[in-house]
Amino acid sequence: ELKVEQNPLFLSMQEGKNYTIYCNYSTTSDRLYWYRQDPGKSLESLFVLLSNGAVKQEGRLMASLDTKARLSTLHITAAVHDLSATYFCAVDQGRSGSRLTFGEGTQLTVNP
């Protein structure tokens, strides 16, 4: 059974600082997704990583995928308050696609 683990689960950081969220998964997959969820809201797709070594960047967020290490990272550069949210990674474990398994989520709070 595929397990997806995020680290840390809670992150409080100051504006302007950098930090990395880690997503480890237990079985072979080369398809990984990052989502953002604001309190009481739905999940918003952030990044789609579909191959080993894939790197995507959007604003202050950068995501990467290392399929050999079964690890993805979400790096935050110069954090701002608007980035406060819960971030989920999800791994596709199906050969034919589908069946996303989500991590526990990382609750990020960026303090002024």
Partner 1 sequence: DARVTQTPRHKVTEMGQEVTMRCQPILGHNTVFWYRQTMMQGLELLAYFRNRAPLDDSGMPKDRFSAEMPDATLATLKIQPSEPRDSAVYFCASALGQLMNTEAFFGQGTRLTVV
Cα(67)–Cα(26) distance, rounded to whole angstroms?
A: 11
Minimum CB separation of residue 83 from partner 1 in Å reads 19
Minimum CB separation of residue 99 from partner 1 in Å reads 6
Q: Which lies closer to partner 1 via its Cβ, residue 18 or residue 57?
A: 57
Among residues 72, 74, 89, 105, the one that binds partner 1 under rule CB under 8 A: 105
Minimum CB separation of residue 78 from partner 1 in Å reads 27
Among residues 23, 31, 54, 72, the one that binds partner 1 under rule CB under 8 A: 31
* Residue 79 to residues 33, 65, 66, 92, Cα–Cα distance (Å): 21, 21, 24, 29
CB neighbourhood size of 38 (10 A): 11
